[in-house]
């Protein structure tokens, strides 16, 4: 119901696809709201990243989105959905702004979009994220890509695709651990073997109800409710999901509860409050909590 035909003009120019009519999109906010780990800012403010076995560079100039190293086919097959260009974020923000607290949070990340990411990559990325910091998560993912992915050249630099399940299963846990992923190596291996064997078919997850997907994913060693919810939101696109990590827990406690709570309680509170837009609320709150981290941290010490 939130999807409506957007009015874009799209043209291919050399190695670029140029999309005009873009609204409610900010690259920094979208790439740094905690949902993805493989995008890096260039000196000119554009971002280069690897997704779906491709390297692209994206730049926003006014209402113009410029995607380099792609073509019209890939734009319509991949990037349109990846950047969620068919969704009216203005309407989502309006609806969520009925809550005055969230209205304030949205001001900090007005251009956030929820990316539609590859399921396998999302699963492994968030397994790595557990008890870890964002720079370290990015580092481990790059290490894995360099060791087990395929090289792609772009503008004289070598990038690496995110390795597939089949790229991991032929190695042992010790080899995977060389990526500095630590105790998570055995979890990556378990995910790889369950996907490679067909025990879990990630491409069919969308056919199941959210709760069923959660159960399927949580059969993987190292996947608990938080990691499963991240996959469900960032890849399957179930927007009534509210992944509850430490940052979200802190910001909800700080802004709403005014006391300590447990993750489940916070998640139920949020889903009751934000309903089918919980996932979007989560992203605005996560970004806001990162912007406010010093303030919140000082409050917590008292």
Partner DNA sequence: CAGCAGGGTTCTG
Partner DNA sequence: CAGAACCCTGCT
Instruction: Using CB under 7 A, list all residues that contact DNA.
Output: 34-35, 126, 129-137, 139, 177, 180, 182-183, 218, 220-228, 230, 243, 245-247, 286
Nearer to DNA, 55 or 220 (CB): 220
Q: What is the closest distance, in whole angstroms, from the C-beta atom of residue 182 to DNA in the complex?
A: 2
Q: What is the closest distance, in whole angstroms, from the C-beta atom of residue 234 to DNA in the complex?
A: 9
Nearer to DNA, 57 or 129 (CB): 129
DSSP string, 36-58: -SSEEE-TTS-EEEEETTEEEEE
Residue 157 phi/psi, 5° resolution?
-110, 150
DSSP string, 204-222: GGGGS-HHHHHHHHHTSTT
Nearer to DNA, 33 or 106 (CB): 33
Q: What is the closest distance, in whole angstroms, from the C-beta atom of residue 151 to DNA in the complex?
A: 23
Per DSSP (E only), the strands in the chain are 9-13, 16-20, 39-41, 47-51, 54-61, 64-68, 151-154, 157-160
Nearer to DNA, 95 or 143 (CB): 143
Q: Which residue has the tokens 């874009």?
A: 8
Tell which residue, 115, 110, 56, 122, has the closest CA to residue 80.
Answer: 115
Nearer to DNA, 22 or 114 (CB): 114
The CA-atom distances, in angstroms, between 97 and each of 87, 268, 284 are: 17, 20, 11
Q: What is the closest distance, in whole angstroms, from the C-beta atom of residue 243 to DNA in the complex?
A: 6
Nearer to DNA, 5 or 294 (CB): 294
Residue 272 phi/psi, 5° resolution?
-65, -40
Q: Provide the pairing of β-strand 64-68 with 151-154.
A: unpaired
Q: What is the closest distance, in whole angstroms, from the C-beta atom of residue 126 to DNA in the complex?
A: 7
Nearer to DNA, 88 or 190 (CB): 190
**Largest CA-CA distance found in the chain, in angstroms, rounded:** 58
Q: What is the closest distance, in whole angstroms, from the C-beta atom of residue 61 to DNA in the complex?
A: 26
Q: What is the closest distance, in whole angstroms, from the C-beta atom of residue 41 to DNA in the complex?
A: 15
Contacts of 251 (CB under 8 A, 6+ apart): 105, 285, 286, 288, 289, 292, 296
Tell which residue, 43, 61, 62, 55, has the closest CA to residue 79.
Answer: 55
């Amino acid at each position: 119901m939130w999807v409506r035909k957007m009015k874009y003009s799209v043209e291919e120019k050399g190695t670029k696809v140029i999309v005009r009519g873009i609204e409610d999109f900010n690259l920094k906010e979208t790439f740094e709201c905690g949902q993805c780990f493989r995008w890096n800012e260039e000196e000119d403010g554009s971002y280069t990243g690897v997704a779906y076995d491709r390297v692209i560079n994206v730049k926003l100039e006014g209402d113009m989105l410029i995607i380099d190293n792609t073509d019209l086919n890939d734009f319509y097959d991949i990037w349109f959905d990846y950047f969620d260009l068919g969704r009216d974020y203005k309407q989502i923000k309006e609806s969520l702004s009925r809550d005055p607290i969230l209205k304030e949070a949205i001001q900090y990340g007005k251009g956030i979009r929820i990316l539609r990411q590859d399921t396998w990559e999302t699963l492994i990325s968030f397994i790595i994220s557990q008890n870890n910091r964002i720079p370290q998560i990015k580092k481990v993912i790059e290490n894995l890509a360099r060791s087990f992915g395929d090289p792609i050249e772009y503008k004289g630099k070598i990038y690496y695709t995110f390795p597939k399940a089949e790229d991991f299963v032929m190695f042992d846990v010790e080899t995977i651990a060389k990526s500095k992923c630590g105790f998570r190596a055995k979890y990556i291996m378990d995910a790889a073997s369950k996907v490679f064997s067909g025990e879990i078919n990630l491409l069919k997850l969308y056919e199941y109800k959210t709760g069923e997907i959660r159960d399927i994913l949580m059969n993987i060693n190292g996947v608990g409710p938080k990691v499963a919810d991240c996959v469900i939101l960032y890849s399957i696109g179930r927007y009534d999901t509210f992944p509850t990590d430490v940052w979200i827990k802190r910001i909800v406690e700080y802004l709403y509860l005014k006391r300590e709570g447990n993750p489940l309680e916070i998640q139920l509170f949020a889903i009751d409050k934000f309903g089918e837009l919980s996932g979007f609320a989560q992203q605005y709150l996560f970004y806001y909590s990162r912007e406010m981290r010093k303030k919140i941290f000082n409050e917590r010490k008292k």
